[in-house]
Amino acid sequence: MRWIDTLESAAADKLPEAVHRYYRQGSAAGVSVGEATAAWSAYRFRPRVLNDVSGVDLGTTVLGTPVDAPVLVAPSTMQRMADPDGELAMARGVSAAGSVLGVSSNAGSTFAELGATGVPWWLQIYIVRNRDITRRMLDAAVAGGARAVVLTVDTPVVGRKEDEGETVWDLVKPGQLLANLPAGDWSDDDLAKADDLNPDAIGWLAERTGLPVVVKGVLRGDDAKRCADGGAAGIIVSNHGGRQLDGSIPTAQALPEVAEAVAGSNIEVYVDGGIRRGEHVLTALALGARAVFVGRPALWALTVGSADGVTRLLTDLAEELDHTMRLVGVPAPSSLTPDLVATRS
């Protein structure tokens, strides 16, 4: 069996049931989380032949940062439940694979500690109602060396998880979460996610941090255009791994429309959700993504193999991508084009 496919059940053997469920689950009826991977597998390849693929090179850049392969790690919370070192072990694993790490604003490690690992990292931020909290987190992230700000926009309210019994919130200990929340006597209202955002938030973040801003959670071409017009440097086509609006369309289906809407601009398009194989990565790149993010597989790999597990996950996916590129007949990610894939009719 392929090692990546063993990870989720191996992680289940090590994790409390409530933590495993928290990582795995989607919101509401779980429609979107259930459809994500199948939507990638539904595409078919139209390979080229008699094309020299002896020198396949997966190296590329993301917002100017060189990466060994276009497979990055998505921001996710509760990493200290997977490994005692949490985000720091994740960072070491990502760094060894020559990739980039998305860091959740709810992380259980400080931005200074993360920066000290040397990993290139992007801050994922939720703008909260009390902007002073957000401002201070942004300043700390800049001081910790964040290279970009990822604004998650699919979470005006938190998706409903239909849990019964013990939850991860019963198990999480102080210090395992929210290591970057500025000291203060904050009310629930201060900390609630802002639900009055508009594209001006992009310029506000760029001005505050001096960093490129990536908007995460876009599923429509017209919204992608609004982000580009608002000054975004990148977009992540994402439905939050099916954890926000259940029944939102698979990212594999949304990506072509988004890529087409911003074609010709300098904006970089990324995608996440259900990407589990080299074939899925290749499909995403062909449909217009510059790189992909993986979420849950990185949490399973961190649980099972700590930093080394994360490195192996990323290098295994890169090897699969390399192999698939040779079979599709294309030597570089930048030469992958939409004509290489077809929708199955």
Residues that bind ligand FNR (CB under 6 A): 22-23, 36, 74-78, 104, 106, 124, 152, 216, 238, 240-241, 243, 272-275, 294-296
Closest approach, Cβ 238 to ligand FNR, in A, equals 5
17-24 vs 296-328: helix axis angle to the nearest 10? 40
Q: Which of 20, 240, 280, 323 is catalytic?
A: 240
Closest approach, Cβ 252 to ligand FNR, in A, equals 11
- For residue 262, give the nearest of 215, 291, 203, 222 by alpha carbon: 222
Integer Cα distance of 141 and 148 in angstroms: 9
Q: Which is nearer to ligand FNR, 248 or 311 (CB)?
A: 248
Q: Which is nearer to ligand FNR, 92 or 277 (CB)?
A: 277
Backbone phi, psi, residue 335, to 5°: -95, 5
Return the residue nearest ligand FNR (CB atom): 295
Q: Which is nearer to ligand FNR, 144 or 241 (CB)?
A: 241
Q: How many angstroms separate the Cα of 231 from the Cα of each of 119, 148, 181, 203, 284?
A: 26, 13, 27, 6, 24
Closest approach, Cβ 48 to ligand FNR, in A, equals 29
- For residue 87, give the nearest of 121, 58, 61 by alpha carbon: 121
Q: Which is nearer to ligand FNR, 148 or 330 (CB)?
A: 148
- Do residues 327 and 46 touch, judged by C-beta distance below 8 A? no
Closest approach, Cβ 234 to ligand FNR, in A, equals 14
Q: Which is nearer to ligand FNR, 127 or 328 (CB)?
A: 127
240 catalytic per annotation: yes
Closest approach, Cβ 281 to ligand FNR, in A, equals 12
> In this structure, what is the dihedral angle of CA atoms 31, 32, 34, 38, given to the nearest 10 degrees?
130
Q: Annotated active-site positions, please? A: 240
